[in-house]
Amino acid sequence: MKKLIFATALFCTHAFAFGQDYDLNEDHNRKIDIGRVRFGGYAAPSISWMKPTASKSSDGLYKVTSGGSQVGFAWGLMIDYFFARNYAIATGFQLNSSGGEIRSKRVDQTTTFGNTVFDANFKYRLQYLEVPFQLKLRSERISSAGGIRAFGQVGLTGGVNINKKVTYKVDYTNSSGSMSTLTGDKEKLAGSFTIAPFLLQLNVGAGIEKPVSQRMALYCGLFFNNSFLPDVTDPGKYDLGYTGSFSDGNIRLNSFAFRFGIFF
């Protein structure tokens, strides 16, 4: 956590230095033109969910379904670098709390073998430190709407998992073949690969900017994140007290987020 705070402080220091002067009309003879950079911050309530890529696990033993969505929240800092009048590279970082619910049900419910999972319901609460790299396209000011600009952006977002908890209910047979149920509430998942340590997501968004002064502008937009690498969960590596193991196939983490913030 100390390393995370230090990295955040270092990032803010450099970003603040870049963001002091971003008059896009000035002509600077610099390799990286500070006048084309602007700095901002935002908050983003979100709805996230997990989705299997197939209806059955890869071994064919379990039927896998999404158990619904959950409310999350993100906040972050953003930097736009305008390489042309209305075209920019958008980057920064954000802390994103998300998750979802996955249900796995064994196809063959008649087996009498011991150490077999029959039903598993896992609700995940995850947190990622994310860095986007996106192309942003912005319109000219719309004078009839008070100088509002519309924008759209698309690109990739890389994420590093920094927290992973799960609430679960597992029905299984123990070593003697008797049916048992084990539950847990917001238990921390241990180990690097119980949850994917890194995620790569496609990020698409659109919104508007409303100027409030020569430098400042209010900002809001709707964004969609679609993770496509790698498989988010790995239940075969969980150590939560039940016997037997199961597979949930390839799981993806998706979300919609409504961002609101300010450029200055």
H or E element at residue 5: helix 2-19
Q: Is 236 helix (H, G, I), strand (E, B) or coil?
A: helix
- Taking residues 110-114, report their average pLDDT: 78
Q: Based on the number of CB atoms within 10 Å of its own CB, is 55 exposed (0-12), middle (13-18) or buried (19 or more)?
A: exposed
**pLDDT tens-digit map of 24-58:** 444 444 455 677 899 999 999 999 999 999 999 98
Task: Give 5's contacts (C-beta < 8 A, 6+ positions apart).
Answer: none
The pLDDT assigned to 56 comes to 93
Q: Please tell me the distance from the alpha carbon of residue 138 to that of residue 194, in angstroms, as a whole number.
A: 40
Report whether pLDDT(100) > 90.
yes
Q: Please tell me the distance from the alpha carbon of residue 239 to that of residue 231, in angstroms, as a whole number.
A: 19
The pLDDT assigned to 22 comes to 39
Please check whether residue 48 is in contact with residue 99, taking contact to mean a CB–CB distance below 8 angstroms: yes
Q: Is 144 helix (H, G, I), strand (E, B) or coil?
A: helix
Report whether pLDDT(166) > 60.
yes
Q: Please tell me the distance from the alpha carbon of residue 147 to that of residue 209, in angstroms, as a whole number.
A: 9
**pLDDT tens-digit map of 214-257:** 889 999 999 999 999 889 999 989 999 888 889 998 999 999 99
* Region of poorest pLDDT, from 20-29, 107-116, 144-153, 171-180: 20-29
User: Domain boundaries in the chain?
Assistant: 40-263
**Mean pLDDT, the chain, as a whole number?**
87
Cut 0.75: pTM above it: yes
The pLDDT assigned to 14 comes to 42
Q: Please tell me the distance from the alpha carbon of residue 51 to that of residue 145, in angstroms, as a whole number.
A: 40
